């Protein structure tokens, strides 16, 4: 079984080699307090929202699939800081964090997962199909790699209409074994499309470790093979992700070219709600949990006297209130009447 150190094989962001180094908060210069609290708040919103979602799933309030992002929060939060509200976001089926970071309300997401009409997709999509075009959040996609060509299409339309905005496409490293990945990289490089590709390399595609499915495991190198600029970053470190994503987004905006950013991360929970986790050891998971993006960030902020326990308590209270309100909203929501079942199948107005 691979160790946490050997799972992510990249020169730039080699995980620290000793236990002592892994336990130490990253050394970097302090950031301003308001921004620090904002980043922490966003990561806590995602973490607590998902913990509650897992609870409501076991209570059978949420049905269907549920893929949790716990452990990977620094990626969605850090990358979103590099985006404007005009930029589009495409994500995978593990997308609650991206939707929250992009501005979707916890109410709309929870109601969607409860299958209620008040959900962002009228309760028809569930956890994997969060969508809100008004926020330029284009899903949520159950198909591995399915978001990649959609991102290319959005970026192509922006280019043709001469709109100055980018499309940010999140996907797992498992998508890189799909044909859609190769076709999309090729066309985006060839047509010079403004896409920021963010590969969330959490080392596993369901139960398959990267090295068992890819001949080249240096993912940034793979992207460069298409003529796409690429780099890797420690996806457990929100500040590092924010910095790398900001540079990458600037590149896309200024050079009108795609960019590939690999974020090396780890999911702490099962692939979905049912997964015997036979493909990794408890020790491996425990080792990665020492790099928990939230506790690492809190330690960093405390080291630089940017946060106190009281402030953290206040943030936790605020988040708890938001999550409880979302559950109440979903509980009180309405199920679609059976007569509406065929609505939207072909168009907004036709009922059959
Ligand atoms: C085209 C396609 N093939 C297979 C699946 C089944 N499947 C669901 S999730 C998954 C693993 C994807 O892993 P990765 O892209 O690394 O994302 P992660 O779940 O690790 O976030 C697979 C194979 C699918 N949904 N779509
Ligand atoms: Mg993966």
pLDDT digits (tens, 9 = 90+) for 135-146: 999 999 999 999
Q: Quick one: pLDDT at residue 22?
A: 42
Model confidence over 147-196: pLDDT tens digits? 999 999 999 999 999 999 999 999 999 999 999 999 999 999 999 999 99
pLDDT above 90: residue 20: no
DSSP class per residue in 221-245 = HHHHTTT-EEEEEETT-HHHHHHHH
Nearest residue to 86 via CA among 24, 134, 45 = 134
Ligand 1 residue neighbourhood (C-beta within 6 Å): 92, 94, 142-144, 172-175, 200, 202, 204-206, 271
Top-tier CATH class for 46-329 = alpha beta
| 167 C-alpha to ligand 1 centroid (Å) | 21
Report residue 216's pLDDT band, with 50, 70 and 90 as the boundaries: very high
Domain ranges within the chain, ordered by starting residue: 46-329
pTM of the entire structure? 0.92
Distance CA 133, CA 84 (A): 15
The whole-chain average pLDDT of the chain stands at 92
Residues 6+ apart with CB under 8 A from 262: 10, 173, 199, 201, 219, 220, 223, 230, 231, 232, 233
| 267 C-alpha to ligand 2 centroid (Å) | 8
């Amino acid at each position: 079984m691979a160790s946490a150190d050997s799972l992510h094989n990249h020169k730039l962001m080699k995980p620290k080699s000793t236990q002592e180094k892994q336990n130490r908060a990253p050394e970097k210069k302090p950031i301003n307090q308001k921004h620090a609290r904002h980043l922490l708040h966003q990561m806590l919103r995602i973490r607590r929202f998902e913990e509650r979602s897992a609870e409501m799933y076991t209570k059978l309030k949420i049905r269907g699939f549920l893929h949790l992002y716990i452990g990977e929060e620094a990626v969605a939060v850090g990358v979103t800081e590099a985006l404007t509200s005009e930029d589009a976001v495409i994500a995978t089926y593990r997308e609650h964090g991206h939707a929250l970071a992009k501005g979707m309300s916890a109410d709309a997401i929870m109601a969607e997962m409860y299958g209620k009409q008040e959900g962002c997709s009228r309760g028809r999509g569930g956890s994997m199909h969060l969508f809100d075009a008004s926020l330029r959040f284009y899903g949520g996609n159950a198909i591995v790699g399915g978001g990649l060509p959609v991102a290319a299409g959005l970026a192509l339309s922006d280019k043709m209409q001469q709109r100055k905005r980018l499309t940010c496409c999140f996907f797992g490293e498992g998508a890189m074994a799909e044909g859609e990945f190769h076709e999309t990289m090729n066309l985006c490089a060839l047509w010079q499309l403004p896409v920021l590709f963010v590969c969330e390399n959490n080392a596993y595609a369901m139960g398959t470790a990267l090295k068992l499915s890819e001949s080249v495991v240096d993912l940034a190198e793979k992207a460069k093979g298409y003529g796409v600029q690429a780099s890797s970053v420690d996806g457990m470190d929100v500040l590092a992700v924010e910095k790398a994503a900001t540079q990458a987004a600037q590149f896309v905006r200024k050079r009108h070219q795609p960019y590939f950013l690999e974020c090396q991360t780890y999911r702490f929970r099962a692939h979905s709600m049912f997964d015997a986790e036979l493909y990794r050891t408890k020790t491996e998971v425990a080792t990665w949990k020492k790099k928990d993006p939230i506790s690492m960030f809190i330690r960093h902020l405390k080291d630089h006297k940017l946060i106190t326990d009281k402030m953290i308590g206040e943030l936790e209270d605020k988040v708890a209130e938001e999550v409880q309100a979302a559950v109440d909203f979903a509980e009180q929501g309405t199920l679609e009447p059976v007569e509406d079942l065929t609505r939207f199948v072909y168009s907004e107005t036709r009922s059959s």
